[in-house]
Structure 1
């Protein structure tokens, strides 16, 4: 009988091709029944975990951030008596929070990026005596992206000599983090100075995703790169706090040199330089790589699989010369493809095969006691939570568009309910304001200027007309409103959200403007005028003023 495996993940992160490929590999290569469950970003889940043999929590459902993974799922997973596996990356972020979560949930296996010889630096045996830590790569080559191979050009026909996409992640991640930015910054300067064709960018707006990313790799004669990861472990979050404090003092994000004195010691305590999924992607597209000197998990060798660039750029002339030797570049690209892709030694099939062996070993070592029959599906939850919001297991990872639909529907409900509240207040509030106008007018001396009162009356009529207009506008999309729960098109739900958000904002502003006019008129009234008729409109408007601020906070 096949094992039943549940993969817990975040659909918010599946926009990243490497993450999506990783998740799909479980279904593609496991000889098991595999299902997926979105468990982050406030997800409402309903699942019977004990109907599964194994639960694998993906690295994209990160436990180092409080509240990111749904608390209900964490409690269910803690009580799960099957095999619990955590895949984790970026272990240098809030490491102690992650470690506490590993212990609290009681994972049996942790797939870590920490080398075996350095495990004690991060995960001491005293703290984790019964947990099995298996070192894995941050990503692998996958047959599922082989479709992109058809888009690559022969190296001699590629017009861009050097390509790169990176980012400046700040000084908190030490040398390896700095390298990701510096290799692009300096090479871009050099290429510009020497008139070498390049496409190098380190800003968020220039990042490329999906099939376009493979097109980009395949259009470059060579791709820059550096080791993935960070040697700077922020165990207790103190470095993150110091980084924020320094940013406040400087009025900008601290650079690598700014923050270096605070991370230099930790940067030398462990070596976490790893091969990244990008290297497999470049190998797939037969794109030679220019990489900073490094270990790269021991998977590739300089001069054989990539052109090595010293971090001080002392050999940049030689590197650029090698980029003009097309035959040698093609030979290197072929060697790297054969080693990383064609050999299948570093593919997801091999990764899953190894993981299957680990799972079987651990399950054979476990007690033969019968499994729990608890953790029943919560039928009451299904009644309380709308079906479109409730997360249940699926046969494949969901894409970010489904998360966007959920969030937009939640926004629509918020605006719809706010408009309903304002509509309920409308008649009584307008009536009381009209009564106030009458009293204001009666208390003015004969012959005095009452134009401000008349202007307020006209404003109240306009306010009523605006309510009526908005009601007519909503009626025009009433079919969508009635069936909003079944909408699967972002364009349709966007249309609803846009209409209801705009109306909510404008109606609140009308109430706020009425409050200001009323308050100004009130200041001219004699102190002898009774207060009973004034208190209700004023109280209503003060309440609306607070709701208005809450609305703006929600919109932001």
Structure 2
């Protein structure tokens, strides 16, 4: 098969899980051939790319994440007639399905998407992708947001064994109640743990990432960071709030800015009364696999781990009301117990081979092959597609390099003076978020 993969890069260097997911199709797709196009705008879709009869077109979650951009409506109106020209069986890989979902519905109809690989469970399919909105039945399959990349695991195993200097480490995007009570959990657990470890003598590094990628760790440095942590804290990913047009997210964010000390109950009553809890798909995020890969013991909030992970065996369980946090701290101090739990989690998620990108991509490509009618297109045209895609990708890489320099300068300013950083950012962006 000849497959076009449409994705979008927002940074020169990003989290390892993004590249691992994106290129898993090419790495483990067998005899299938892939053209990767960084779809940064209409100019990337040249005539050579538009005219070729692909067997399949994959819309990667990095491209579909562009729906979060404030100007996405204008972006899409320019791209839509071009995307409609693309031939081949079309599939979506979607993350964060619970917000700006109306754009996904529209794109599924406009582009005649054949299948959606989503990070939700079957009980939420009709809520998130209703047939009345998509015009499709039997549209979805469940996949996880991330898996284990074998080549990266080999690199991790090659790292020099060393003592871990951080007792409790954590990084997550700072959140308010814009994604419901569950969406706030990754921030809440950080705040609770920061308070609990105060004056305990434990060496901690618990930080929230902010707009401008402050405190974000990317590339190989992320795994070096995990290798330096004895334990990390976390929870299952996702949201409990269905927000098809993003209006609830905007309302909750604005309310939280105006009332910074507002409780969940206040935000819920003011912005989405009775609407939280519509979706229940809380899935393993990539971080759980990454911690398993580095044998970093995980402290995870109690939830439904679908029988895959067992509390006490694969992770230290933290009660949702934090009532057992004293016991959790005792477990964290027990170095031997933490190492045993981390090794068991490694056996469950990594050594078992059940959750690898090899298995994921192999199964996905087999499904696409069975659904996509082969076009038997010529090789000469395919070489032109590869050339055009490579040229478009290199052109935008120069833009990313300039952005990378600006982001590095911004992070340096934050290290010197967080207050000055936020003042400058407020003047330049009006307080808005940027990718």
TM range (shorter): 0.7 to 0.9
TM-score (norm 2): 0.80
Structure number with higher relative contact order (C-alpha < 8 Å, ≥ 6 residues apart):
2
Q: Which moved more, 1:74-83 or 1:167-176?
A: 74-83
Q: Equivalent residue for 2:315? A: 306
C-alpha separation in 2, matches of 1:399 and 1:272: 39
* Residues 236 and 206 (structure 1), Cα distance of their counterparts in 2 relative to 1, 3 Å cut: closer
Q: Equivalent residue for 1:259? A: 267
Deviation, structure 1 residue 175? 1.8
**2:123 pairs with 1:120:** no
C-alpha separation in 2, matches of 1:142 and 1:398: 26
Q: Equivalent residue for 2:425? A: none
* Residues 264 and 193 (structure 1), Cα distance of their counterparts in 2 relative to 1, 3 Å cut: farther
**2:146 pairs with 1:150:** no
C-alpha separation in 1, matches of 2:335 and 2:79: 54
Q: Equivalent residue for 2:243? A: 234
Alignment of 1:41-52 (within 5 A): 44-46=44-46, 47-48=49-50, 50-52=52-54
Alignment of 1:13-412 (within 5 A): 13=11, 15-31=14-30, 32-40=32-40, 44-46=44-46, 47-48=49-50, 50-62=52-64, 64-65=67-68, 66-67=72-73, 71=77, 73-126=79-132, 127-130=134-137, 132-146=139-153, 147-151=155-159, 153=161, 157-204=163-210, 205-243=214-252, 245-246=254-255, 250=258, 256-261=264-269, 262-263=271-272, 265-296=274-305, 298-363=307-372, 392-394=388-390, 401-405=397-401
Deviation, structure 1 residue 124? 2.1
Q: Which moved more, 1:70-79 or 1:201-210?
A: 70-79
Q: Deviations over 1:519-552 (max 9, x none)?
A: xxxxxxxxxxxxxxxxxxxxxxxxxxxxxxxxxx
Q: Which has the higher helix share?
A: 1
* Residues 168 and 244 (structure 1), Cα distance of their counterparts in 2 relative to 1, 3 Å cut: closer
Q: Equivalent residue for 2:424? A: none
C-alpha separation in 2, matches of 1:131 and 1:403: 40
C-alpha separation in 2, matches of 1:398 and 1:111: 29
3-state SS, counterpart of residue 368 of structure 2: helix
TM-score (norm 1): 0.63
For the 8 Å contact 2:122–2:142, the answer to whether it is kept is yes
Deviation, structure 1 residue 308? 0.6
C-alpha separation in 1, matches of 2:116 and 2:149: 22
For the 8 Å contact 1:82–1:371, the answer to whether it is kept is no
3-state SS, counterpart of residue 194 of structure 1: coil
C-alpha separation in 1, matches of 2:26 and 2:140: 23
How many residues are aligned here?
A: 389
Q: Deviations over 1:127-181 (max 9, x none)?
A: 4335631110011110131213333646xx3222111112322211112221111
Deviation, structure 1 residue 70? 5.7
* Residues 68 and 28 (structure 1), Cα distance of their counterparts in 2 relative to 1, 3 Å cut: farther
Deviation, structure 1 residue 211? 1.4
Alignment RMSD, CA only?
3.3
Give unpaired runs (5+ residues) of structure 1: 380-390, 409-488, 495-556
C-alpha separation in 1, matches of 2:136 and 2:14: 37
C-alpha separation in 2, matches of 1:68 and 1:22: 28
Deviation, structure 1 residue 324? 2.8
3-state SS, counterpart of residue 202 of structure 1: strand
Deviation, structure 1 residue 309? 0.4
* Residues 85 and 24 (structure 1), Cα distance of their counterparts in 2 relative to 1, 3 Å cut: same
Equivalent of 1:7 in 5, 19, 39 = 5
| Greater Rg over alpha carbons, structure | 1
For the 8 Å contact 2:21–2:146, the answer to whether it is kept is yes
Give unpaired runs (5+ residues) of structure 2: 410-435
Q: Equivalent residue for 1:460? A: none
Q: Deviations over 1:301-340 (max 9, x none)?
A: 2222111101221111211122233333222212211221
